[in-house]
Structure 1
């Protein structure tokens, strides 16, 4: 960037124009009047927003990604309107114990969502020896060690009812063939995906927060400031992700996972910029005047980046027909607005309240203003 600027500085000078943005001194004075009440609102909102953001309903698989606006979504919707929603699972169990297979099949037939089973014991029967069957036909149902049951189920590819059904089929197989069975299918894979990424979510969040916190500790040489900044941005993320909960919307878990990291990394810079400028201003001004001058100095920079993320996010959400990308776009747009609100209306109040920690390094050098 420095090389590029040096190479084009003549054009930069020729195309310079007057500032189109106001000074924002009035905005800074307005912030000083409301920042303490906003801190109170912020503190009250932390716990509810955290709980709500973790109580959303999720889509874990890809069954809902393509909406009716897409060709795939429209075709799927038309097929389901005629034939209904269904899925197929494959259950593999040891092949030698035919009587137990029959008992397992009867138990599976008793499950209301099971509409049919294709297996050796259902198609051929327990009484007929394997040697009576054609090898080509036999090989479709049995291998050297296992026989398979193709189970047709009347359920969607994912959802609470689907997951309850998968668990019930697994428990039934476990009763008859303890630890000797395998179950596969789209609904089963989605259930496993839910199990895996739900556990991974905690790790991803903790690693992301820890990484940002360590960077802030090393750069700011403080423990209190990183806590304030990370808590502020994390609360903005929780507020963003709590909106679908209060609107009773279902979200894609992968979008939830991605935006939690993106919003933290993309918007924590705003908090860092405002905090660094406040520390500089406190060398010259009192606390209140430092807030006013800080807001005036950083608003244009923060709004430039924030408005870009907001506009691009909402455009992606509006234009994209891909369900996941659209949801990510809306999350990015709303999340950036939440982060901007926290940085402009809450962070100044936190810096004002914890001012003694902010100017600690400056006090050692005698560089601060009462």
Structure 2
């Protein structure tokens, strides 16, 4: 009993330990599950996609400044149709009383009433995206429940609860379909139960550890579970099929479990490397949502592998009898007829593939990529997009652009506001320098003591003294040594100085004067908090233009040019349009970087796997071709594509679906040692069908379900592109790839990496002395490391550390000499 253990490989010893210590692993996973269930609520879901913009982008810098220096209230636009003017005014009064509504802007001008439709601009007390602002929006909906209305919130991201509900539906439908697929390709009904347990555990472990990163994006949080299932279900299937093969070979359950696990660890680890490579490429994106998605999905792949390696062996032992009792007939049909058809058309389809490939490159390069989720034209639109489009159809677009400039130069601010307000497409311009305090003055106009006294109700003598104190405090002595009535100060600055002196008790006003000043103070404070910061001033413009496009780009360039005339380079533009522009500026470099890294990572893995250069190039060509064809569809159908869909899906498609190509190539490489290349291709297609169909259909279905059900533009575009891309990869792998393997067989052999070994196929009858690897038939198939002498007919591929010695057969050589296995 000791001798076999001495010759066991490291993998066998590891597998034996895992199987024999399965009860300990049950406890470990139970503890890990408890930890993860507790950790799931700890993960913060970030719904603001702008948080993932690179720090150096203009939008990110501007948003940081606005968060630090300004107060930004929530907003919403409410459209009510089929309403007369009297009802519209009455409804405006009602909306003013809704809890959480700070103000309602409505009048009977064409900006707010047109074609029996009323448009209300609501300012909310809470910031956009907060629970309080969402509660206010719900209250507004209740107030207009009897009307035909459309509510477009200022924060245009789907609510986490709505996303979770949609993904719950997607996951439920996906599980039903996946169970059907697994039943179709399984050997035993109980296998499917084991698969579901393994995946559920892996999914919970992944979700329950997301809080390690502090927060995860709403995109990652929504699709991670489904993608983890689609990407990692292969691992459980590979191990289970290995186990079934060992059982069919006559091994007892425990020994079959050990043998299967020792082989599956290497096979699954190798398979996972290409998937991890594609996901790792995402982490190099400038747009940090790639890092967010990449690390979470890589973590999910690792947890899936650990669950398969450490938990599933015990489950197979635990449910062994049930697995045996629930065997069923093989539902997977033979597709050798399809394989023969593919072989017969091997001189036609590759030519067609090249033509389609060239067309795919051309069309995918002309795909209309968009960089704002409000610009996508996907079929499923959330309510806020429907409302925004309805409002735009009647009253035009309302694109808000904030301009940040250094604080303190009121004259320049006024000039910028006036000049930008005259630009074509600009519908409003708001800043401290153009807010009127009466019919003839704005907040930043220079005022004499007399003008200030008339505005605020302060006595003229008190006003003069106030101006002199202001001049002394600011080292401006003209107010002291010259006539105080000739000394002017911006109204906002002298008013702030008055309030400051009142708070210190230096200035005392009458009760009526104090009330008048405090009323004005409260009104001005609201404007100041939104428009004036410690170091920056915010100018806000609205324009009737889309969030992105040539018209919008030209307008932003014009606004920037006007502001630069006064402030040089110290100008920052912020808004959805600038966010889209920033994303567009990094897209080209991210696209090139991710494409190169994905292909490079995958090629390195494949070269080490196949010990060949030609074969990996063929595999990558096929999958890259499927990617180009995939992203030709938006161009051909006249739709646009959210840029993130391309960056993410191209990486996942290359990293994950190339596994299908690896499966067929492995089968073909093995089978061609035993039979003719064309017959090997037919058998490779037939034997690989179940694996490719199972994994591919799950990925395809998951993608199309996400794209078909989710109303979030980002998630919808990812799902649709992933489902379509996976389907295209399956088609190419099951048609073109076998043909390329046959036609490129010579290239594959010539580019094989032999590592200075004598690697040659031998046909010999007699005695062969070998120290190395042999694969072939010696009165029965042999595949292993053999050091010794073989007696008999040898038809095998040899990889020897020394030149094999061949001797002709003699009558006396009727039995093999001693053979040992290292």
1:8 CA drift (Å): 2.5
Residue 76 of structure 1 corresponds to: 388
For the residue of structure 1 that corresponds to 2:540, the secondary structure is strand
**What's the counterpart of residue 46 of structure 1?**
357
CA, structure 1 residues 306+144, in 2 after alignment: closer, same or farther (shift >3 Å)? closer
For 1:364, the equivalent position in structure 2 comes to 759
Q: 1:321 maps to what in 2?
A: 711
**Aligned residue runs from structure 1 range 9-24, under 5 A:** 9-24=320-335
Spell out, residue by residue over 1:316-347, the C-alpha distance to the aligned partner (whole angstroms, 9 max, x if none). 32222333333322222211221012111111
2:490 aligns with 131
Q: Deviations over 1:133-185 (max 9, x none)?
A: 33354845545554432212112233343233223322333344321212212
In the alignment, does 2:450 pair up with 1:91?
no
Distance 2:550 2:615 in 1: 42
Whether contact under 8 Å (1:68, 1:74) holds in the other structure is no
When structure 1 is superposed on structure 2, of 76-85 and 315-324 the one drifting more is 76-85
Alignment of 1:113-124 (within 5 A): 113-123=425-435, 124=442
Does the 8 Å CA contact 2:380/2:709 hold for their aligned counterparts?
no
User: In structure 2, what is the Cα distance between the partners aligned to 1:96 and 1:311?
Assistant: 59
CA contact (8 A) 2:432 2:528 kept: no
SS in 1 for 2:346: helix
Query: Of 639, 642, 656, which residue of structure 2 is paired with 1:266?
Result: 656
Kindly indicate whether residue 615 of structure 2 is the aligned counterpart of residue 220 of structure 1.
Answer: no
User: Relative to structure 1, is the Cα distance of residues 109 and 343 closer, same or farther in structure 2, using a 3 angstrom cutoff?
Assistant: same
* Greater strand fraction, Structure 1 or Structure 2: 2
Kindly indicate which of the two structures has a greater share of residues assigned to helix.
1
* Count of residue correspondences: 368
**Which of structures 1 and 2 has the larger relative contact order (alpha carbons within 8 angstroms, sep 6+)?**
1
In the alignment, the residues of structure 2 paired with residue 96 and residue 229 of structure 1 have an alpha-carbon distance, to the nearest angstrom, of 63
Q: How far did residue 64 of structure 1 move?
A: 4.7
1:62 partnered with 2:421: no
Within 1, Cα distance between the matches of 2:318 and 2:749? 39
Which residue does the alignment assign to 1:34?
345
User: What is the CA–CA distance in structure 1 between the aligned matches of 2:400 and 2:716, rounded to whole Å?
Assistant: 30
The answer to whether the aligner puts 1:355 opposite 2:750 as a matched pair is no
| Residue 300 of structure 1 pairs with residue 690 of structure 2 | yes
Task: Say what the alpha-carbon RMSD is for the aligned residues.
Answer: 2.7
Give the Å deviation of 1:101: 4.3
2:669 aligned with 1:310, yes or no? no
- CA drift at 1:48: 2.7
CA 1:97/1:292 → structure 2, altered by over 3 Å: closer, same or farther?
Answer: same
CA distance in 2, matches of 1:329, 1:169: 37
Structure 1 outlier segments of 4+, above 6 Å: 65-68
Where 1:36 maps in the other structure, the secondary structure is coil
**Residues in 1 aligned to 2:544 and 2:726: alpha-carbon distance in whole angstroms:** 42
Contact 1:39 1:350 in 2 (8 A): yes
**Distance in 2, Cα, partners of 1:145 & 1:304:** 60
- Rounded to whole Å, the distance in 1 between the matches of 2:707 and 2:528 is 49
> How many angstroms apart in 1 are the aligned matches of 2:417 and 2:556?
15
Please tell me whether the aligned partners of residues 400 and 542 of structure 2 are also in contact (alpha carbons under 8 angstroms). Answer: yes
Asked whether the equivalents of residues 86 and 152 of structure 1 are also in contact (C-alpha less than 8 Å), the reply is yes
Contact persistence 1:53–1:245 (CA under 8 A)? yes
With over 3 angstroms needed to count, the CA separation of the structure-2 counterparts of 1:202 and 1:19, relative to structure 1, is: same
1:25–1:295 Cα contact (<8 Å) kept: yes
Where 1:3 maps in the other structure, the secondary structure is: helix
**1:355, distance to aligned residue in structure 2 (A):** 0.6
Aligned in 2, Cα 1:165/1:351: closer, same or farther, shift over 3 Å?
same
CA radius of gyration, larger in: 2
Aligned with 2:676 (options 278, 286, 296) = 286
Q: 2:589 aligns with which of 177, 199, 206?
A: 199
The question of 1:109 aligning with 2:499 is answered: no
Give, in angstroms, the shift of residue 278 of structure 1. Answer: 0.7
Quote the offset at 1:267 in angstroms. Answer: 0.7
CA 1:359–1:2 in structure 2 vs 1: closer, same or farther (change >3 Å)?
farther
SS at match of 2:715: helix
Farther-moved stretch of structure 1 (326-335 vs 128-137): 128-137
Match of 1:174 among 564, 570, 575: 564
1:202-241: CA deviation from partner (whole Å, max 9, x where unpaired): 2222222211111111111111111111111011011011
Whether contact under 8 Å (2:380, 2:710) holds in the other structure is no
5+ residue gaps, structure 1, are none
Match status 1:4 vs 2:315:
yes
| Structure 2 gaps, min length 5 | 1-311, 436-441, 448-487, 497-520, 762-795, 798-822
1:244-291: CA deviation from partner (whole Å, max 9, x where unpaired): 111110111111221111211221001001111111011111221211
Give the distance between the partners of 2:676 and 2:355, measured in 1 at CA: 28
Aligned residues of 1:90 and 1:185 also touching (Cα < 8 A): yes
Alignment CA distance shift 1:312-1:8 (3 Å): same
| TM-score, L = length of structure 2 | 0.42
8 Å contact from structure 2 (residues 374, 385) kept in 1: no
**Segment drifting more, 231-240 vs 102-111:** 102-111
